[in-house]
Amino acid sequence: MRNSDIMEMVDELLDSEGDVIIGSLTFSRSDIVKRLDPIAYREICNDVVSSQIDDLQYDLDRLDPELDADEIADIKERIEDLEGAF
């Protein structure tokens, strides 16, 4: 997964509660976090990646290696892909 894909997911998550309006100005929540605290934004991205890995690992742990070999290979590949992000 590319960093831009992760950032897009994080932006959608942050912006899901709507814009912030200050006077006549409108700001997206994701832009506020990116500009005011880029380190916090990066941590949110890392948390999203970590959560996705946890979810995939949960799915992986419940599969039968003999019956679900293709699905196991796919999930392992997705985990490796995420581990390389952020």
- Structure confidence by residue, pLDDT tens digits, 17-74: 999 999 999 999 999 999 999 999 999 999 999 999 999 999 999 999 889 999 999 9
pTM here is 0.79
Q: What is the pLDDT of residue 66?
A: 87
The per-residue pLDDT for 84 is 79
> What is the band of 1 on the pLDDT scale with cuts at 50, 70, 90?
confident
Give the chain's end-to-end CA distance (angstroms, integer).
10
